[in-house]
Chain A
């Protein structure tokens, strides 16, 4: 187990290193000048060049990359124009937002986590639940209704579903408040109320794929001999379907879920925009639009970290769920 973890950790580090080099390379390949964000209306070429030198943008690229990496691990001094000393993990300073990128993340990450993680629990529960029910009642009306239900939502666009739900629950019936983020530590009830619509929308949209996957896997597993044996031996239905069948069927679902959650954490842009939430995805897209290069680089790196970590977690879960899988 330890060897496995070590190997995977080293692999993760090399992937992240490669991503950082590529992202940094793109930073320079882009035509956007990182400094024009500093004085949009009335800058002249001379002053811009002075600013560039002060910010180290005229240094050789390898030196800039080394400084950036150093900042992530031990922090670095950014100069008075960028808030001075920047503690580790220092991800640079955004002129567009007038704050260090780390501060931006501290602000927007909780929003994305609050949207994605509970929604993931919901869509998994809903999807796997519906899938199981459909598999057990295969061919019946219930089966067709539940699959039809999930497919209908999966075929719609999120901004449409979200907008319709907003119209119904917030603007017309007025039973839910406008979605907004409140820290769960401050006011858990307001947090939940503010997040209900995004959770509901994501759950409806994403459950379809899990429902179909769960249904297909369950149907296959239910035909296995060991299920018949268990039933023949008199094991209660719940134990057979829950512990035995589901456990065997769940591995592909775990894979997809891991990738889904990992990439969703990188930013559910459309959800955040539809509901007016300032999360990681929205921040990333705005950074691209505004040419805010420090923020773009940092979000690329962070998104890569999420996906790499999610993969690792999924692999670990495999070993836990399915004893046939050997790690290493």
Chain B
């Protein structure tokens, strides 16, 4: 797979976002991100795009055992409970979903129907009623057919309070409340379905919502819509042995040690537009930490030649990996959708000019350098990460790579505000706080750093009435739409006393109304609106300072082919993986 594809809009040549994902690397430029690239993403409405087979991966060969190295066990294998990156990406091998993304590994994604023939029909045009037609010929690992009934059961069981851990979008939207597990009790309704969910026939799945939910096709790509026959529901034990609907099934699971997946003979590639079935087996090996994993794939001996070290290359090995062209060739380097920003508590820092001054003063290049340079992060000046559909690069407060303390001083007009910067006590976070303090103090701010224990950090900053002014916050959306980012982070009506995601506590009626307007639009039309809104929020309110987008660097052995960093979650994707013979 050559690392060159021309994006549709703008004709700008996409510089390699994923280096070395394929067998040959022509040594493209080191830039992992083209700031001028406009991401295009689409929702494929033509049923042809949702049909299999997925395009052949050039050079791929069938057979062999593909090894995946990981330190800790995957917290949940049960598709309705998976929410960690490893769980989400790993489940793609054994759990098919209503919709899925085709992904070229460079941020160009298309939503297609996976078990469904198309990514959903917006029946009345108001996003309140959605229908999916289920494909023929899709089967479980025991050969039984997958119909709308099994998919509906999968969604129903996610209401059970015993089966927690997974995303809660569908449950909350269907029940119309955050307390969905009391609104409809799974255990007490063994033969019925949650409110709003129905299966008029074996081929049709119907969602009816009280509010418009234009993001349903996206939410349906999460493994929460994986099918399960009721007879195979083993409750909490499904976490150890899920029942497969994908190209691989789980044959052996020793928790914390090994997970073995083998071919599912009943998977039909002609029904699957996303996945392949090249290796005979996948074997997850748990236990080795980041350093050990990277050392093993660098050594490239025995089984490790066909292995990928999913724990990213640790800081101390980055120079070794980057400096050796032979190793760099088999390293994936990619930006992720994980966007970091300096959130400003707008209830304490109430003066817009002060917030704008912070935006001018910030020195992104020192922060990025501290994170490992291009192998750790890419500076960003937008609230939306580049992986978002409709992303457009802009800078509301142009200040250059290292910030513009002069312009910040001008805005402050002689004031020297004292701000409290709360940080997690992890080494990386503390270093980052140090860089922020240094940059802001050049503009005349007085910064007091307050470290808190790492495991309490999120709870602290997500409290509504916290006594801090600025902190670093991050967000990785569950699907690449602005709808999963901007309203979550900046809609004043969603502010909660605890566990609040709108940490800037921005509450502007004009912006809130804009959110409502855009959310009611057709998902394809929404894309452009979100980037416009991004710029508007930054210019009118500056509730945060966009800092950087995380870059992940993952090494693999010389026989591990077809790997790329998925654009949705910024984690290794195995759907094209093969073992070079």
Q: Is the CB of A171 within 8 A of B299?
A: yes
Name the A residues within 8 Å of B181 (CB-CB): 47, 50
Whether A44 touches B178, Cβ cut-off 8 Å, given contacts A83-B237, A170-B299, A278-B287, is yes
Asked if B72 is at the interface of the complex by the 8 Å CB criterion, the answer is yes
Whether A38 touches B164, Cβ cut-off 8 Å, given contacts A171-B295, A276-B287, A277-B287, is yes
A190 to B167, CA, bound (A): 41
Q: Is the CB of A43 within 8 A of B304?
A: no
Interface of chain A residues 4 through 59 with chain B (CB within 8 A)? 31-32, 38-47, 50-51, 54
Interface of chain A residues 273 through 324 with chain B (CB within 8 A)? 273, 275-278, 283, 286, 289, 291
> For this complex, into which size category does the number of interface residues on chain B fall?
35 or more
Q: B132-140, B253-261, B513-521, B568-576: which lies at the A interface?
A: B253-261
Name the B residues within 8 Å of A231 (CB-CB): none
Asked if B239 is at the interface of the complex by the 8 Å CB criterion, the answer is yes
Q: Is the CB of A96 within 8 A of B75?
A: yes
Q: Is the CB of B76 within 8 A of A286?
A: no
Whether A180 touches B287, Cβ cut-off 8 Å, given contacts A44-B178, A51-B161, A98-B239, is yes
Q: Is the CB of A177 within 8 A of B302?
A: yes
Q: Is the CB of A43 within 8 A of B302?
A: no
Q: Is the CB of A276 within 8 A of B292?
A: yes
Asked if A152 is at the interface of the complex by the 8 Å CB criterion, the answer is no
Q: Is the CB of A42 within 8 A of B256?
A: no
Closest to A276 in B: B288
Name the B residues within 8 Å of A45 (CB-CB): 498-499
Asked if B199 is at the interface of the complex by the 8 Å CB criterion, the answer is no
A45 to B83, CA, bound (A): 20
Closest to B172 in A: A42
Asked if B286 is at the interface of the complex by the 8 Å CB criterion, the answer is yes
Whether A98 touches B76, Cβ cut-off 8 Å, given contacts A40-B165, A41-B83, A170-B299, is yes
Q: Is the CB of B240 within 8 A of A42?
A: no
A43 to B239, CA, bound (A): 20
Name the B residues within 8 Å of A181 (CB-CB): 257
Q: Is the CB of B240 within 8 A of A99?
A: yes
Q: Is the CB of B455 within 8 A of A178?
A: no
Interface of chain B residues 151 through 185 with chain A (CB within 8 A)? 161-162, 164-165, 167-168, 178-179, 181-182
Name the A residues within 8 Å of B149 (CB-CB): none
Q: Is the CB of A107 within 8 A of B161?
A: no
Interface of chain A residues 119 through 169 with chain B (CB within 8 A)? 166-167
Interface size on A, residues (CB 8 A): 45
Name the A residues within 8 Å of B299 (CB-CB): 170-171, 174
Asked if B402 is at the interface of the complex by the 8 Å CB criterion, the answer is no
Closest Cβ of chain A: how far from B559's Cβ, in Å? 16
Asked if A235 is at the interface of the complex by the 8 Å CB criterion, the answer is no
Closest to B458 in A: A40
Q: Is the CB of B455 within 8 A of A80?
A: no
Whether A50 touches B161, Cβ cut-off 8 Å, given contacts A41-B83, A43-B499, is yes
Interface of chain A residues 208 through 228 with chain B (CB within 8 A)? none
A273 to B167, CA, bound (A): 32
A215 to B383, CA, bound (A): 68
Chain A 176-187: CB-based contact to B (< 8 A → 1; otherwise 0): 011011000000
Q: Is the CB of B240 within 8 A of A98?
A: yes
Whether A174 touches B179, Cβ cut-off 8 Å, given contacts A83-B236, A181-B257, is no
Asked if B280 is at the interface of the complex by the 8 Å CB criterion, the answer is no
Asked if A263 is at the interface of the complex by the 8 Å CB criterion, the answer is no
Whether A39 touches B164, Cβ cut-off 8 Å, given contacts A107-B255, A178-B304, is yes
Name the B residues within 8 Å of A166 (CB-CB): 292, 295
Q: Is the CB of B302 within 8 A of A278?
A: no
Q: Is the CB of B72 within 8 A of A178?
A: no
Asked if B73 is at the interface of the complex by the 8 Å CB criterion, the answer is yes
Closest to B74 in A: A98
For A38, A43, A81, A276, the residue with the greatest tally of chain B CB atoms inside 10 Å of its CB is A276
Name the A residues within 8 Å of B499 (CB-CB): 43-45
A181 to B287, CA, bound (A): 10
Asked if B190 is at the interface of the complex by the 8 Å CB criterion, the answer is no
Asked if B289 is at the interface of the complex by the 8 Å CB criterion, the answer is yes
Asked if A82 is at the interface of the complex by the 8 Å CB criterion, the answer is yes
Name the B residues within 8 Å of A44 (CB-CB): 178-179, 496, 499
Q: Is the CB of A80 within 8 A of B162?
A: yes
Name the B residues within 8 Å of A82 (CB-CB): 236
Name the A residues within 8 Å of B285 (CB-CB): 180
Q: Is the CB of A278 within 8 A of B256?
A: yes
A104 to B254, CA, bound (A): 10
**Looking at the complex, which one of A47, A80, A180 makes contact with B235 (CB distance below 8 Å)?**
A80
Closest Cβ of chain A: how far from B427's Cβ, in Å? 15
Q: Is the CB of B455 within 8 A of A291?
A: yes
Closest Cβ of chain A: how far from B240's Cβ, in Å? 7
Name the A residues within 8 Å of B161 (CB-CB): 47, 50-51, 54, 81
A47 to B292, CA, bound (A): 40
A108 to B187, CA, bound (A): 34
A38 to B164, CA, bound (A): 6
Closest Cβ of chain B: how far from A299's Cβ, in Å? 14
Q: Is the CB of A80 within 8 A of B168?
A: no
Asked if A67 is at the interface of the complex by the 8 Å CB criterion, the answer is no
Closest to B287 in A: A276
Asked if A229 is at the interface of the complex by the 8 Å CB criterion, the answer is no
Asked if A85 is at the interface of the complex by the 8 Å CB criterion, the answer is no
Name the A residues within 8 Å of B71 (CB-CB): 276
A166 to B165, CA, bound (A): 37
Name the B residues within 8 Å of A39 (CB-CB): 164-165
Whether A99 touches B289, Cβ cut-off 8 Å, given contacts A39-B165, A47-B179, A81-B162, is no
A146 to B540, CA, bound (A): 75
Name the B residues within 8 Å of A276 (CB-CB): 71, 287-289, 292
Closest to B295 in A: A171
Contacts A174-B301, A273-B289 supplied; 17 other A-B pairs, CB < 8 Å: A38-B164, A43-B499, A44-B178, A44-B179, A44-B496, A47-B179, A50-B161, A51-B164, A83-B235, A83-B237, A97-B73, A98-B75, A104-B256, A171-B295, A174-B299, A275-B292, A276-B71
A-B contact pairs, 28 of them (CB 8 A): A31-B456, A38-B165, A39-B165, A41-B83, A42-B167, A44-B178, A44-B499, A47-B181, A50-B161, A50-B182, A81-B161, A83-B235, A83-B236, A97-B73, A98-B76, A99-B255, A104-B256, A108-B256, A170-B299, A171-B296, A174-B299, A177-B302, A181-B257, A273-B289, A275-B292, A278-B287, A286-B72, A291-B455
Chain A positions within 8 Å of B, measured between CB atoms, are: 31-32, 38-47, 50-51, 54, 80-83, 96-99, 103-104, 107-108, 166-167, 170-171, 174, 177-178, 180-181, 273, 275-278, 283, 286, 289, 291
- The 10 A-B pairs with the shortest beta carbon distances in the complex, nearest first, are A276-B288, A81-B162, A276-B287, A39-B164, A98-B239, A171-B299, A278-B256, A38-B164, A278-B287, A276-B292
